[in-house]
Amino acid sequence: MQLFPHRHHARSRMKKTLVVFWCMAALGVTPVGATELKGETAAAFDRYIRATEARMDDDVTEDEFLVVDRLPESRRQEAYAQLQDGQVYIEELHTREDHHSIHVPGGLIHHWAGVIFIPRATLSQTIAVLQDYNHHQMIYQPDVRQSKLIEENGNGFKIYLQFFSKSVVTVVLNVDFDVSDTPFGSTRYQIVSRSTRIAEVANFGKPDEHELPVGNNHGYMWSLYTYWRLEEKDGGVYLQNESVALSRAVPFMLAWLVNPLVKNIPRNVITNLLANTRKAVLSPGSRSDKPNAIVTQRR
């Protein structure tokens, strides 16, 4: 027999409240939690990106275009079989420099890659969906609330996306990207998006909605680089998304509480990105003959 059940429930509610409070404090929800992006943090992220892109160049040279191609032979075959069965391959990555970790003072790097297989799809159909920037708000909802093609210049684009995330708190970010495309022969293609401006939106949906100063906010995301790789083979297209994001660091004393949430968010985002792209490619009316789709593979 349990005595004073109301006290037990009260303690349970109090515990849940404290967990939420700690998460909010660690993620910088309150105004006092705002933090500034330091020059040394940005420089370390740039160093990480340079090392990551150098590894990507090596992957192409070594014919390891997708992350699954770097797996041992038996595991690689298993991964390809799972992809063809409709599963998603997800991996957390850590770029090293001369076999050493790259320290990012005051910041935390989120580096993930995911692969999915789109049966019966072609390279041009998949590129058309990824380049249909004016409709990303429909393809990738609710994670993307607004999307717009700002400028097209040869193999490059300037685009705007508004990201929306709601877990412990609601986070809205206005992000500008420079996008560059690179074909690798007739069956491989790469699209790279590099953020040039990320502004956090405060009081979203309220009359006093406004942007916080860039680089002086809650630090949910300071930079985001996304690398799409596409390879047409096996009767379809393998689609890979590799993303590298920079956020503020999590206080050490709260890392045990916050890190599981921090790790789940990018995993879920990449899974949704891949699944929604596959759905759009396979949906009628989302093919490369869509009138307002931008298909640069025509070069």
Q: Got the DSSP string for 102-126?
A: ---TTEEEEEEEEEEEEET--HHHH
Q: What is the pLDDT of residue 155?
A: 84
In a 3-state reduction of DSSP, which class is residue 149?
Answer: strand
Look up residue 199 and give its amino acid.
A
Is 174 a domain residue? Answer: yes
Q: Which of 137-151, 172-186, 277-291 has the lowest mean pLDDT?
A: 277-291
Is 15 a domain residue? Answer: no
The band of 14, judged by pLDDT with boundaries at 50, 70 and 90, is: very low
CATH number at residue 110: 3.30.530.20
- When pLDDT is averaged across residues 61-79 and rounded to a whole number, the result is 97
Q: List, in order, residues 6 or more apart from 32 with CB less than 8 Å away.
A: none
Is 8 a domain residue? Answer: no
E strand residue ranges, 17-98: 35-36, 89-92, 96-97
Residue 1 has pLDDT above 50, yes or no: no
Which position has the higher pLDDT, 130 or 21? Answer: 130
Q: In total, how many domains does the chain have?
A: 1
Q: List, in order, residues 6 or more apart from 6 with CB less than 8 Å away.
A: none
56 neighbors 227 (Cβ within 8 angstroms) = yes
Is 101 a domain residue? Answer: yes
Is 10 a domain residue? Answer: no
Is 14 a domain residue? Answer: no
Is 76 a domain residue? Answer: yes
Is 6 a domain residue? Answer: no
The Cα 277–Cα 131 span in angstroms is 11
Range of the domain at 89: 36-298
What phi and psi, each to the nearest 5 degrees, are found at residue 16? -65, -40
- When pLDDT is averaged across residues 68-75 and rounded to a whole number, the result is 96
In a 3-state reduction of DSSP, which class is residue 239?
Answer: strand
